[in-house]
Amino acid sequence: MPEIIRWHTPVIHMRRTATRDTELAGKTIRQGDKVVMWYVSGNRDESVHAEPDAFRIERPKVRQHLAFGAGIHRCVGDRLAEL
């Protein structure tokens, strides 16, 4: 099930407004800029997932995806949603 969720994430994107100037991956983000995280892109990150465009039901670390958020922003109902 987690590979299906990684492959086709239920959340499409999340948009936020930058509260201060910062730099991310060599790009300048100014206070007030709108920034978007596309979950499908994060779930296909080559630095995290070997062969990210391959659907592998027995993928190692299969629950290591962003479909339910991360850290303090992780969905509290993630295990229920997997059912």
* Structure confidence at residue 71 (pLDDT): 81
* Structure confidence at residue 33 (pLDDT): 97
Q: Tell me the chain's radius of gyration from C-alpha atoms.
A: 15
pTM over 0.85: no
Rounded Cα–Cα distance for residues 27 and 62 (Å)? 30
Domain of residue 49, residue span = 2-82
Number of domains in the chain: 1
Would you state the structure tokens that stand for residue 13, as one six-digit string?
A: 């994107």
* Of 6, 76, 71, 19, the residue nearest 45 (C-alpha): 6
Rounded Cα–Cα distance for residues 40 and 17 (Å)? 20
8 touches 34 (CB < 8 A)? no
